[in-house]
Structure 1
């Protein structure tokens, strides 16, 4: 049994996404993989729930709250929990707590005899020196660095500036993952909860993922161009505009959000139920509703099966997974897996 420890230089860099994607990809290759997060920054942590729901991982008893310092008894407790989680697994992927330092990460990596991957959330000011504490502390346990969430027009800068500086600092660059709209999405149910919406159709599918929100207004273009140009979108439209609502329902949309507290007419309800499009009504006007959606994007979490599949695809395309599995297998040479 081998252990991969995934740490980050700052909270929110993408550790949960990366651990989940690694687990899914290795399972696709026939490997038996367990995922484990021994410590959390607070008592309630959504990551264990994500592992349970997305990967069917038993999460009983972990994570436990992490204080400002990692003590020897905490390390022993985590090692005991790791033995239980590992079971018959070929590999265990361990996620670090968001606020854990390089020194505490090294303590756990030594206790687990783990290889370490550090995921760095992309920002324009990111340099190799920001990650040097990990190199200095982990010594030979550091397999490499992954840069996550690279914006569309920053790829050249990462390739030409950041990656060479990582190499000069003695760090292996395992890949750079671009940002992706799917990962910022929310389910229809989460959208309704955030906006205080009430559903006005029978048996709405609240699990569908919304990636884009679009205001439904008058236009000269046909509905296919106005509402069908993007996929997985929610249409925000006044409740007293059945003409625009019907236009939106004529193309594939994920849901309708009707504003100003006005319920749809019966024909709109009938058509929405016929094409299986959830319809919710909110009390706020259209502008206030769109403003409120900004908070939903900022608080996006990794909690949907489509996000897992999409991120696994990105990892497969942009990360040297073969190098990571080679390190886990004790092979210093990267070998491409079929």
Structure 2
């Protein structure tokens, strides 16, 4: 059994993307795999058992048979936080290790998905770095280099904490201008300090899109037409706070977009429906007039009515975009394709001591 821990410098950097892509690739190569998430933060109950939504996703798309409870033994809830603060719960390390041993049984590779940085978990007596040491895992560290100095510093910190356990680094969601810099200067700099680059993943419009359904759930919106289009993916967002002429020019440049606009701006709503729009989000809890509704139904564009002003809705959308889910089927296929193309799978296998 070979444990591989997928860590990150900052949260929501692409750990699930890498775990999904690698898991499918290991399965393709004939390896028996398990997936383990020591600590979850997306609680859900299934058959009376508390587990994590990400674990259910991995279990489904990889056809895994381990129990959700074993795959994620500790889930952060308000109740657990209060129990820890009151002293009713001590260290969670033993519980995590016991569940890990169950998942690891009869597996060739166990992919472990961390949460936050390597020091996360001290609150529950089970820091990720300590768990990695106890399971003798190898590690891949991922980051989105929004601020390159901080990202590099995070990789160096991981190396200092993990030593030879760190197989290498992956940079995710790279803009075109950053790609060449990471491929040359950054790679050379890290190589001299004992850190290999295992992958450079470009910004991808499909992977980083969000479904209309996810928008509805995040915004608490009411979809008043075209519910069959809820799984359509939105790649970009337009804000309808301008005059009609400017809006038309602006919106024609954006494909597969959602437009956030005041419910009283029928002129902007109509302009949006004349371009490549996946969803109209009407703010202010205001409903469209019959002309707009009829046009949207004819065009197959869902209209979502939400409470709050345009600015507050935009802020909620920005928060959602910081941790986009991979759960749409089209994203799963794209994630597997991207990881297969951009990640150095052979180098990871060598680091794990696997022979192919």
**Structures share fold, TM-score greater than 0.5:** yes
Structure 2 counterparts to residues 1-338 of structure 1, below 5 A: 1-40=1-40, 46-52=53-59, 54-55=61-62, 57=64, 58-61=67-70, 62-64=72-74, 74-86=92-104, 88-101=106-119, 105=128, 107-122=130-145, 123-126=147-150, 130-201=154-225, 203-215=227-239, 218-219=244-245, 227=251, 229-239=253-263, 245=269, 248-249=272-273, 252-266=276-290, 268-284=292-308, 286=310, 289-290=313-314, 292-331=316-355
Q: Secondary structure at the match of 1:254?
A: strand
In 2, distance between residues paired with 1:26 and 1:273?
44
Deviations 1:13-60 (Å, cap 9, x if unpaired)? 332222122113333445443211123479785533543455455422
In 2, distance between residues paired with 1:168 and 1:252?
48
Q: Secondary structure at the match of 1:82?
A: helix
In 2, distance between residues paired with 1:25 and 1:229?
37
Query: How far did residue 329 of structure 1 move?
Result: 4.6
In 1, distance between residues paired with 2:286 and 2:153?
56
TM-score, normalized by length of structure 2? 0.73
CA contact (8 A) 2:260 2:280 kept: yes
TM-score, normalized by length of structure 1? 0.76
In 2, distance between residues paired with 1:43 and 1:105?
19
Matched positions, count: 327
In 1, distance between residues paired with 2:41 and 2:215?
27
Query: How far did residue 241 of structure 1 move?
Result: 5.9
Distance 1:176 1:109, change over 3 A: same
Tell me, which stretches of 5 or more residues in structure 1 are unaligned?
A: none
CA contact (8 A) 1:7 1:95 kept: yes
RMSD of aligned C-alpha atoms? 3.9
Query: How far did residue 94 of structure 1 move?
Result: 0.8
Distance 1:318 1:267, change over 3 A: same
In 1, distance between residues paired with 2:280 and 2:306?
11
Distance 1:244 1:145, change over 3 A: closer
In 1, distance between residues paired with 2:291 and 2:113?
50
CA contact (8 A) 2:216 2:222 kept: yes
Query: How far did residue 164 of structure 1 move?
Result: 1.1
Q: Secondary structure at the match of 2:244?
A: coil
